[in-house]
Chains A and B, each alone.
Chain A
């Protein structure tokens, strides 16, 4: 128990425990699952964005070879709506409710056939007659319904309007960020099978506990009769935080044809069916003194939303927390359009960071203050909204260490003053204050007579390394070797867990494992309470610790015995204990911190051609205790590259007339490739977090935040062109 609480920042860089399975192709993803008698489903999607279905002619499809069913709103049974979800709000509307079309690509039928080829061919034979109406498209469309403060997340402190009116320096600009699509490499798949009234679903989800609850509600069966399995997932990035209509349709199809049914989304369907980063616009006003003190922030964030869907919007969620500014007002707006429902994509809130950190850069030029110094002058020593001390904050260290590694002092402040041959060189930086939650989580941990431990929870590993850090933590807490611990997750029948999302899981699951490990040691001591043969008889939890497969006295490691000896003597096969975490920030006397970071970017721009290249990015990150340095570094590098995509490449384009996504393939929607990636340096600073039972803070998302502003600020430094819209494309630099 000692190591977790010790002031040790970097956990051992253990090789990931699922490595061998993944390099041999043996890790089973949902799309790999098959069953005897399994049949295949293919979706039919709307080719209009708004209107109604006048009629469906499915006769040819039904008569096609191998076809078992064509399910449309005309013959589908009514399905209940999914439940409210903690963290995310209402579930996406259930499919095939009626004949209304709310977006291009809406699922209007599902075709089931013996083979995938037969289902694909038959889906093309479904003839749909639409009554088309003019879709509401475009974030600035005056006809669109606007929701104001839909989630009650707006921040108000002081009097921002008055402070702006009297500020010595006022900044007022707008920002625009294109829609983006999560695009995990793994195509989302659902394999559904009914055994009587029991439903077993292999599902691409980041949250089995929620998926089980949603399917149980929609099909009106007890939660215990639904099992959701996802031992491995081909990435998620937020797309798997919902149980989307295609999964419900697959389960419905399996029930109606009474066979196991597999549906694998196509890449274009990954753009229309599992959410995306909403397009956003922002208006940001800052008031400051000439000495560079912020006196007012007024931040309006507007994002797109589906016609009837819900999506919690986080544009300005960190605006009030990032800097010590007495007067802050944030305003959240959502605009209803005839588009597929947006959802969370890695790092919601990174949009707001782009605006704030770009604006501070602009202010630094206006005031003639170094950008880094300007941030330090407004450093939030305590949480600026609550006034409480942070549970941990090493942002100042991020700035210092990051600047040193980057060589920030080499920067000459004048625009265009750094050159290398034909290339204009620019340095830019950004600060990052990000959220991160601990969420309720449960786990069961047991030790068997052979001395091995078994950790079980309905958590998931979407690639981040949950298996590995859970193995490490359990081994450390129970005094076992890594090889003696087996972690079983990705099964909704196990103890309820939060999602792999919101940068929450490692800390939440880790806290639950810590609780369970303590309870398990108590359980062993209980067994020994009356055991005169044990040197540990009558000892209490605080008296003992665990190492080398045995429990021993803290004061005298020679006094103790092994788990195996205890279990064998008492003729027990195993002992198990449950653990949980149920974090309560209220009354903790501190503001629970998320991760902090500082990003430094160097760009090169060809003065004549406008070509933009990122040469290097340095990231200094405070994520509390780092559980596994190898995995953590990879999270930051991977997210940084996704941030480069967001900044320079990625844009989901909705055709303004039809609402169809015009670039829904990997040929047209560009994500960074190997040859796009610059020199990336990551350093972790800080210390274990006080509010987190294991000292860690989330780091799955923070790596994407701040990349855009650091690059855009470097572009300005090189060229004098201030780009306030993403992605930054060559036409903006010519």
Chain B
């Protein structure tokens, strides 16, 4: 038994026949080949698979692909516009908010969700907003600095951080 789903991912329309038990994260990675969204646990605790769904961050291991039918998904691959890095991407690079990079895509998407709700977060607000995204390498300090950097950049150049 399969189902046909239609959705937009990073602004592009897709129609696929999928098994109802297929997780959204496996749909993104294995069907669409968008392997920037990572899987790092089996229990929805690590946040590595975070994507935006209809404008809100979700853990894509906790959603079925069929639940995304008709919706709009944004992954890390859709964060840059016309080859120009999003301020969050620039911030994580500039402020060294990553080492191995495995948590980075999910961390970026959660940070995007934070800045949409709160464009000028304090370090403490950043730490609590991102406590559902695990990082084993960086010690988080530079991640906080990266999000602050991006927030400043987006305030200075509002167009730079526009999310669809």
Find chain B residues with CB under 8 A from A31 CB: 38-39
B36 touches A462 (CB 8 A): no
Find chain A residues with CB under 8 A from B93 CB: 15-16, 19-20, 23
Option from A233, A267, A463 in Cβ contact (under 8 Å) with B42: A267
A117 touches B92 (CB 8 A): no
Taking A24-B85, A267-B41 as contacts, is the C-beta distance between A674 and B131 under 8 angstroms? yes
Option from B38, B42, B76 in Cβ contact (under 8 Å) with A234: B38
B7 on the A face (CB < 8 A): no
Interface size class of A (residues with CB under 8 A): 35 or more
Chain A interface main SS type: loop
Please choose the segment from A158-166, A554-562, A605-613, A633-641 that sits at the chain B interface, where 4 or more of its residues have CB less than 8 A away.
A633-641
Distance A234 CA – B140 CA, assembled complex (angstroms): 16
Please choose the segment from B52-60, B102-110, B153-161 that sits at the chain A interface, where 4 or more of its residues have CB less than 8 A away.
B102-110
A23 touches B19 (CB 8 A): no
A26 on the B face (CB < 8 A): yes
Taking A18-B101, A185-B48 as contacts, is the C-beta distance between A674 and B43 under 8 angstroms? no
Interface bits A214-235 vs B (CB < 8 Å: 1, else 0): 0000000000000000001111
Tell me the chain B residues, 100-153 only, with Cβ under 8 Å from chain A: 100-105, 108, 126-128, 130-144
Taking A20-B93, A186-B38, A267-B43 as contacts, is the C-beta distance between A637 and B100 under 8 angstroms? no
Tell me the chain A residues, 615-660 only, with Cβ under 8 Å from chain B: 630-631, 634, 637-642
B103 touches A674 (CB 8 A): no
Q: How many residues belonging to B are interface residues under a CB distance threshold of 8 Å?
A: 60
B41 touches A666 (CB 8 A): yes
Tell me the chain A residues, 356-415 only, with Cβ under 8 Å from chain B: none
Option from A16, A117, A234, A677 in Cβ contact (under 8 Å) with B21: A117
Taking A638-B139, A666-B43 as contacts, is the C-beta distance between A234 and B102 under 8 angstroms? yes
B96 touches A27 (CB 8 A): no
Taking A185-B48, A666-B41 as contacts, is the C-beta distance between A22 and B136 under 8 angstroms? no
A634 touches B142 (CB 8 A): yes
Q: Smallest Cβ distance from B33 to chain A, in angstroms?
A: 8
Find chain B residues with CB under 8 A from A28 CB: 35
Q: Smallest Cβ distance from B21 to chain A, in angstroms?
A: 6
Distance A18 CA – B149 CA, assembled complex (angstroms): 19
A146 on the B face (CB < 8 A): no
Interface bits A643-687 vs B (CB < 8 Å: 1, else 0): 000000000000000000000011100011111010010000000
Find chain A residues with CB under 8 A from B92 CB: 19, 23
Q: Smallest Cβ distance from B97 to chain A, in angstroms?
A: 9
Tell me the chain A residues, 8-56 only, with Cβ under 8 Å from chain B: 15-16, 18-29, 31-32, 34
Tell me the chain B residues, 77-98 only, with Cβ under 8 Å from chain A: 77, 79-80, 85, 88-90, 92-94, 96, 98
Residue of B nearest to A680 (CB): B141
Find chain A residues with CB under 8 A from B99 CB: 235, 463-465, 634, 638
Option from A24, A232, A674 in Cβ contact (under 8 Å) with B89: A24
A268 on the B face (CB < 8 A): yes
B45 touches A667 (CB 8 A): yes
Q: Smallest Cβ distance from B130 to chain A, in angstroms?
A: 5
B142 touches A637 (CB 8 A): yes
Find chain A residues with CB under 8 A from B38 CB: 29, 31, 185-186, 234
Distance A267 CA – B42 CA, assembled complex (angstroms): 6
Option from B22, B94, B105, B128 in Cβ contact (under 8 Å) with A25: B105
Residue of B nearest to A628 (CB): B96
Give 5 CB contacts A-B under 8 Å.
A24-B85, A25-B35, A25-B37, A463-B101, A638-B139
B contact set with A: CB distance below 8 Å: 19, 21-22, 26, 29-30, 33-43, 45-46, 48, 75-77, 79-80, 85, 88-90, 92-94, 96, 98-105, 108, 126-128, 130-144
Q: Which 3 A-B pairs have the closest CB atoms?
A: A25-B36, A463-B100, A22-B101
A contact set with B: CB distance below 8 Å: 15-16, 18-29, 31-32, 34, 116-117, 183-187, 232-235, 237, 264, 266-268, 462-465, 630-631, 634, 637-642, 665-667, 671-675, 677, 680
